């Protein structure tokens, strides 16, 4: 019964998605109407493909803390922490859990090292482990960012685009990004990291608002480029804008531009730009950690935004030339 309900829910979601008009559909209508008004063929946008994402392997430890060692740390807070980690050996452990363990170890190990009940031999082992984990903490973070299911999929394409009026998920997503950014900011000062906030942040990011944003950016860029190439096939000086003509066809074409591009598409792209700029600011500390370790940022936010802006600028320049040659103004 439970499986049947899950299947039914999935079918409903797919049907709603299929029936809901997305922003790229509006752009397709825009191109179609331009083609009809100007007697030129539609130039379809180039298909999008997922970009290869560089992953970071899990750091390996050269040290081990045995059961006997753990038995000697009953006076320390890390006793249960180490025991729980050892119990996970051979089992599936999520990258985020490994990161949280490393953070909590770094937070609690110093107290155990300096505790009067800690034997010298064990203290030396913990000192070595502490140094190793401090060095490896950024790599555990990057391992999570590139391998955890909720995070590894952020840069991938999805079927859903950002709606013209974003939901509360946008604010929740930015808040979740800020939690991970806080980890990045304090990567060299783990005492300042709240490890318990990581899992709730991943749950929010699993809704893939960022994937929808990147998909929308890339689709709008492709449509801008395709629409510009399409309109470049329209003869202006020798055609719709030729001297002595009544400009009727030019006015019809202009009306399509005003109705679709100026009223809907341009404001939508401005909204995408605003959201992306905010995300770039919030994501910056995470990007810094990627760059410091020579790893490509999987989101490539600035690159995608620059491409959208360039494609929009090229499209608007074509229309500026159109209005100049036809000696009309947008209605």
Q: Hey, is 36 helix, strand or coil?
A: helix
Nearest CA to 210 among 306, 145, 129?
145
- Give the integer Cα–Cα distance in Å for 2 and 10: 12
pLDDT of residue 19: 55
At 228, which helix (H) or strand (E)? Answer: helix 209-231
Q: What pLDDT was estimated at residue 9? A: 40
Q: Which two tokens stand for residue 38?
A: 């100007």
User: What pLDDT is attached to residue 91?
Assistant: 61
Q: Is the pLDDT of residue 220 over 80?
A: yes
The whole-chain average pLDDT of the chain stands at 91
CA torsion sign for 38, 40, 43, 44 is positive
Query: Is pLDDT above 60 for 225?
Result: yes
Q: Rounded to two decimals, what is the model's pTM? A: 0.89
Inform me whether the pLDDT recorded for 292 exceeds 80: yes
Task: Report the alpha-carbon distance of residue 64 to residue 169 in Å, rounded.
Answer: 42
Tokens describing residue 293? 């370790």
Structure tokens that stand for 87 in this block: 């119990």
Residue 154 token pair: 């952020």
What mean pLDDT do residues 128-136 have? 96
Rounded Cα gap, residues 164 and 103, in angstroms: 40
Residue 17 confidence (pLDDT): 45
- The first and second tokens of residue 175, run together, are 């808040």
3-class SS at 40?
Answer: coil
- The 8-class DSSP code of residue 239 comes to I
pLDDT interval class at 82 (50, 70, 90)? confident
Q: Tell me the mean pLDDT in the region 24-34.
A: 98
């Amino acid at each position: 019964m439970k499986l049947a309900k899950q299947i039914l829910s999935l079918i409903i979601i797919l049907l709603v998605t299929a029936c809901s008009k997305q922003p790229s559909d509006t752009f397709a209508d825009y191109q179609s109407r331009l083609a009809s008004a100007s007697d030129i063929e539609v130039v379809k946008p180039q298909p999008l493909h997922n970009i290869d994402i560089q992953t970071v392997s899990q750091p390996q430890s050269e040290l081990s803390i045995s059961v006997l060692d753990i038995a000697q740390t009953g006076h320390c807070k890390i006793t249960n922490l180490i025991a729980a980690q050892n119990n996970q050996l051979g089992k599936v452990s999520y990258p985020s859990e490994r990161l949280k363990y490393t953070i909590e170890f770094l937070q609690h190990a110093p107290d155990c090292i300096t505790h009067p009940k800690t034997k010298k031999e064990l203290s030396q082992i913990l000192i070595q482990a502490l140094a190793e984990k401090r060095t490896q903490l950024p790599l555990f973070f990057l391992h999570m960012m590139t391998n955890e299911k909720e995070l590894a999929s952020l840069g991938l394409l999805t079927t859903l685009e950002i709606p013209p009026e974003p939901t509360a998920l946008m604010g929740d997503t930015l808040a979740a990004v800020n939690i991970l950014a806080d980890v990045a900011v304090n990567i060299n000062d783990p005492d300042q990291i709240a490890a318990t906030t990581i899992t709730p942040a991943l749950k929010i990011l699993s809704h893939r608002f960022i994937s929808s944003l990147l998909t929308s950016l890339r689709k709008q860029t492709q449509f801008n480029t395709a629409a510009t190439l399409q309109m470049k096939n329209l003869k202006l000086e020798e055609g719709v804008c030729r001297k002595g003509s009544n400009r009727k066809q030019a006015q019809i074409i202009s009306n399509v531009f005003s109705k679709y591009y100026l009223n809907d598409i341009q404001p939508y792209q401005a909204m995408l730009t605003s959201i992306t700029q905010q995300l770039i600011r919030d994501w910056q500390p995470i990007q810094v950690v990627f760059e410091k370790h020579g790893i490509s940022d999987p989101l490539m936010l600035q690159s995608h935004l620059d491409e959208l802006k360039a494609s929009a600028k090229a499209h608007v320049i074509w229309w500026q030339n159109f209005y100049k040659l036809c000696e009309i103004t947008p209605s």
